[in-house]
Structure 1
Amino acid sequence: MVGIIDLEVAFPAGRRTVREMHELSGRPVADILAWTHCPEIPVFGPDEQAWELQADIAAKVLDRAGVAASEIGQVIVGGGGDWDRPSWSPAARIAAELGVTRAHCFEVLNFCSSSSAALQVASDAITLGRTTYSLLLFGERVARSIDYTDPESVSLFNVGDAAAAVLLGPHNVRFDLLDTRTRSEPTWSDFLSGEIDGDRMVIRLRGRRRGISALYLERYRDLVRESLHDLGLTPADVDHFVINQVDRRMHERLLDALGIPAARSVFNYHRLGHMSSTDPFIGLCDLRDTGRLADGDLVLLATSGFGFSWGVTAVRHRA
């Protein structure tokens, strides 16, 4: 069965503090903390390159797995296009750094739901026999697109930067990939978008359209229930629920709606912001590194992103 052989996450050295956000935006510290839940957010500094951090942890993953660069048939970078350079392929640059010379290198743009989309693309390719191993990478310079001088953008102040590397294949699998499904709601495509502001692109909220919270809850709930139903499972069978760390209030409401106890979910709000498409892998690494995973545990990885798109991936842990 196709699955995750190994994975790793890492964080940049830079930090954006709530105090700095307050000074730039004029919003009260309490208002900002209501979204960030922590006093500072990891961000790439001006001298840090996202692709280099991704390449570093990818090399560690390949070394631990004992997979040679020559065996990699796909290198996929997921995100929203906030690469280190415009009109450029970070996947190809990372492949060159790793000595991967026989792979198709490309990007999957589905914003903060790119992890689900990339897992689906890669697992399909492996299942169809087009490649044996796929290397998935996540992490971009999203924080530089946040306008901290705009007090109306406070709900985006929790966005930060991180990197993740995930190796997929059919051998020596640590997490069996049971199901991945994604869905979009295109009528909300213009609610969030970027615009050029001087020498950079910034993300803007487009109005105050009501219903986004209810839509998030409905789409997540439907995908989780459909996935579990097709697997012959129920929410009671879920041992761990990992979701993008965007909105703690919505996270808690979703758990209530699904009947999954909060103790079975990962909450990183107190120490990290929303690390874009790396969130689910940060949560999965936390479960692994703290010894919370037992043989046979069922883990759901839930994602969402601009577009708007949602994804749910079910994996089963092998001890």
Structure 2
Amino acid sequence: MGTAAVLTGLGAHLPPRRVTNADLAERLDTSDEWIASRTGIRERRWADPGVSTGDLATEAGLRALKSAGLGDDARIDLVVLATTTPDHPCPATAPEVASRIGLVDAAAYDLAAVCSGFVYALEAASNAIRAGRAANALVIGAETYSTILDHTDRTTAVIFGDGAGAAVLRAGDDTEPGALTGFDLGSDGTRRDCITVPAGGSRQRAAGGEPAEADRYFQMRGKEVFTAAVAHMTASARAAAARAGWPLGTVAHVVGHQANLRILRAVGEQLGLDPGTVVSNLDRVGNTSAASIPLALADAAAAGRFAAGDRVLLTAFGGGFTWGAAALTWPDLAAVTTDERSPIR
């Protein structure tokens, strides 16, 4: 028996504005059938003007604390916010989110690993707990991808949505439900141009001059990403399960990054698991990048899909390239996902 980070709360928040495939087909050369058949997506949520990643993250964090039975006087030692769309290049968004939630003096930082961000953030918070540097942590994945999309590009504008999901972790032992018992992370920077926003950073600014308009927005080479995502999500899930000491046949659920339904199905098949083990809410929320795994977890938990003691594999792939997986024994908890808004500070 050893110290482990244990999941005790889960919360999710989606902006209210639904954007259906039919809505997009009115202004793009596409259709509901084209989008759904290639991605599995039927609709996504986009934040209203003036709503930021920090706003969504704050709401998800408040809900996760409520799920964990913690109130305004909660003691959280660490906040890790995984995002590709921070409120500002500087400062980080996490300290403001922590302040708005009421977490006094908590260490707080942003983590950028694109769609793998939430798994990376879980591992970072878990390490802090296992090392004794934090007794409790709040891990958030939040995105407003609608702010970095070229809305005239049907190859990307139809895929991504906005949202936030959050998890509360506490120190416990690796034999109890909720324990995170195995991680695997990796990257390949030689493939950095496959998923990118070329402009806006120091490399573009150091080159001088104004960037091309298209370089201000998210770009992706879909076919290359598809192949790499299946390979790395599968291999990483296998590695995490092995580190947890789990035979793959004992895994009850696989919660992958919600990028594409065909990717999720291919990962399940390559792991040799029944299709019913693969969790997906992609049809209703689209690809929400770092928010996708906690949103899928919260959705499945709220629907009663998980039982305490179930073995759950999380696996993700994102820009960088980055990838990662985690092994989680499901606890007895209910996610907070209602549409009622908490008082945002």
Q: Same fold (TM over 0.5)?
A: yes
CA RMSD of aligned residues (A): 2.5
What is the aligned partner in structure 2 of residue 142 from structure 1?
145
Relative distance call for 1:198 and 1:86 in structure 2 (3 A) is farther
Question: Equivalent residue of 1:24, what SS?
Answer: coil
Q: 1:307 aligns with which of 292, 313, 320?
A: 320
Q: Which runs of 5+ in 1 are unaligned?
A: none
Tell me, yes or no, if the aligned pair for 2:40 and 2:260 is still in contact at 8 Å. Answer: no
| Mapped pair 1:14 → 2:17 | yes
Relative distance call for 1:24 and 1:242 in structure 2 (3 A) is same
Q: How does 1:248-263 map to 2 (within 5 A)?
A: 248-263=261-276
Output the CA distance in 2 between the equivalents of 1:186 and 1:161.
26
Relative distance call for 1:20 and 1:144 in structure 2 (3 A) is farther
- Cα displacement (A) at 1:289: 1.6
What is the aligned partner in structure 2 of residue 201 from structure 1?
216
- Cα displacement (A) at 1:299: 0.3
Output the CA distance in 1 between the equivalents of 2:235 and 2:157.
26
What is the aligned partner in structure 2 of residue 281 from structure 1?
294
Relative distance call for 1:195 and 1:231 in structure 2 (3 A) is closer
- Cα displacement (A) at 1:174: 5.6
- Cα displacement (A) at 1:156: 5.3
Greater Cα offset, 263-272 or 300-309 = 263-272
Greater Cα offset, 60-69 or 92-101 = 60-69
Question: Equivalent residue of 2:132, what SS?
Answer: coil
Q: TM-score, normalised by structure 1?
A: 0.89
Greater Cα offset, 256-265 or 172-181 = 172-181
Aligned residues: 314
Q: Which runs of 5+ in 2 are unaligned?
A: 200-211, 333-345
Q: 2:75 aligns with which of 65, 71, 74?
A: 71
Runs in 1 of length 4+ with deviation above 6 angstroms?
none
Identity of aligned residues (%): 24
Question: Equivalent residue of 2:282, what SS?
Answer: coil
Letter in 2 for 1:296: G
Output the CA distance in 1 between the equivalents of 2:196 and 2:134.
35
Letter in 1 for 2:111: V
- Cα displacement (A) at 1:311: 0.9
Q: How does 1:88-237 map to 2 (within 5 A)?
A: 88-151=91-154, 154-155=155-156, 157-170=158-171, 175-196=178-199, 201-205=216-220, 211-237=224-250
Letter in 2 for 1:270: D
Question: Equivalent residue of 2:309, what SS?
Answer: coil
Relative distance call for 1:155 and 1:47 in structure 2 (3 A) is closer
Tell me, yes or no, if the aligned pair for 1:5 and 1:174 is still in contact at 8 Å. Answer: no
Output the CA distance in 1 between the equivalents of 2:157 and 2:232.
21
What is the aligned partner in structure 2 of residue 49 from structure 1?
52
- Cα displacement (A) at 1:38: 4.0
Output the CA distance in 1 between the equivalents of 2:316 and 2:103.
29
Q: TM-score, normalised by structure 2?
A: 0.83
Tell me, yes or no, if the aligned pair for 1:84 and 1:141 is still in contact at 8 Å. Answer: no
- Cα displacement (A) at 1:194: 0.9
Relative distance call for 1:93 and 1:211 in structure 2 (3 A) is closer
- Cα displacement (A) at 1:286: 2.5
- Cα displacement (A) at 1:318: 2.9
Greater Cα offset, 21-30 or 46-55 = 21-30
What is the aligned partner in structure 1 of residue 256 from structure 2?
243
Letter in 2 for 1:18: N
Post-superposition CA distance 1:173-220 (Å, at most 9, x none): 7611111211112221111211456599311236x7x65433222222
